[in-house]
């Protein structure tokens, strides 16, 4: 398996190296996304496409328990290593699986997150329905993406080499609406002007963004976080 294929589904030693790199490189956009999530001490969370497991480790600091799932066994292995003590303490559980058929009962989670992963989901609209199935009534689905569509030379480059689909916030919002999610809110980062654009219920506003983590990507692409309620 080559370098670009490994970015979609990490495997072997190269996959392990890439996962460790992504844990670091995706940190700024993930932390920005997490600031839009209100995690409570009793919350049970599922991280779909958990990758290298670093976001599980972050979220479980405030939650009751976090589950992680990924279709890459290499991702599962590294996520378990990163969260080894938390697994031993019963705070984290990580398994191999696919978003198309989540191995959980209906109404299981207060929050489901998907960081930098929906680009690879087959039949994304049906996958959003599967996420809704496992959410508790009133539960929150958070989607984090490092780009608002592929209308950018950097993203066009990646799309050319990797089998992935880059969605803009309008498409994500429509997928959620078609699955009858409510209270859909889109957060867009205007890093150059240190502003955040918030779209909700047909309205749009700009607020100051005090996020100060240094990132290379936010100078060229617009970060997106979307939250929706079951």
194 pLDDT band (50/70/90 cuts)? confident
Contacts of 191 by beta carbon, 8 Å cutoff, 6+ apart: 209, 215, 218, 219, 223
CA 64 from chain centre, in angstroms, equals 19
User: How far apart, in whole angstroms, are the C-alpha atoms of residue 31 and residue 215?
Assistant: 11
pLDDT for position 15: 43
Phi-psi bin for 162: left (phi > 0), alpha (psi -120 to 50), beta? beta
Torsion of CA 121, 124, 130, 135, to 10 degrees: 90
65-96 pLDDT, tens per residue? 999 999 889 889 999 999 999 999 999 999 99
pTM, rounded to two decimals: 0.87
pLDDT for position 6: 46
Dihedral sign, CA of 187, 91, 97, 29? positive
For 148, the token pair is: 């608002």
Average pLDDT, the chain: 86
């Amino acid at each position: 398996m080559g370098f670009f294929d490994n970015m979609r589904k990490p495997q072997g030693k190269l996959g392990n190296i890439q996962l460790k790199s992504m844990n670091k490189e995706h940190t700024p956009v993930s932390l920005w996304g997490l600031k839009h999530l209100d995690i409570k001490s009793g919350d049970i969370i599922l991280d779909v496409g958990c990758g290298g497991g670093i976001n599980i480790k972050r979220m479980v600091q405030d939650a009751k328990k976090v589950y992680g799932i990924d279709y890459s066994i290499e991702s599962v292995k590294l996520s378990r290593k990163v969260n080894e003590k938390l697994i031993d303490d019963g705070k984290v559980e990580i398994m191999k699986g696919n978003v198309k058929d989540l191995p959980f009962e209906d109404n299981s989670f207060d929050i489901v997150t998907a960081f930098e992963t929906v680009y690879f989901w087959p039949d994304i609209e049906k996958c959003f329905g599967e996420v809704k199935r496992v959410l508790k009534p009133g539960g929150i689905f958070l989607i984090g993406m490092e780009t608002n569509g592929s209308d950018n030379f950097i993203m066009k480059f990646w799309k050319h080499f990797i089998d992935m689909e880059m969605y803009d916030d309008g498409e994500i919002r429509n997928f959620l609406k078609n699955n009858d999610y409510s209270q859909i809110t889109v957060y867009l980062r205007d890093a150059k002007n240190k502003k955040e654009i918030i779209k909700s219920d047909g309205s749009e506003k700009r607020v100051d963004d005090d996020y100060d983590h240094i990132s290379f990507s936010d100078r060229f692409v617009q970060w997106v976080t979307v939250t929706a309620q079951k």
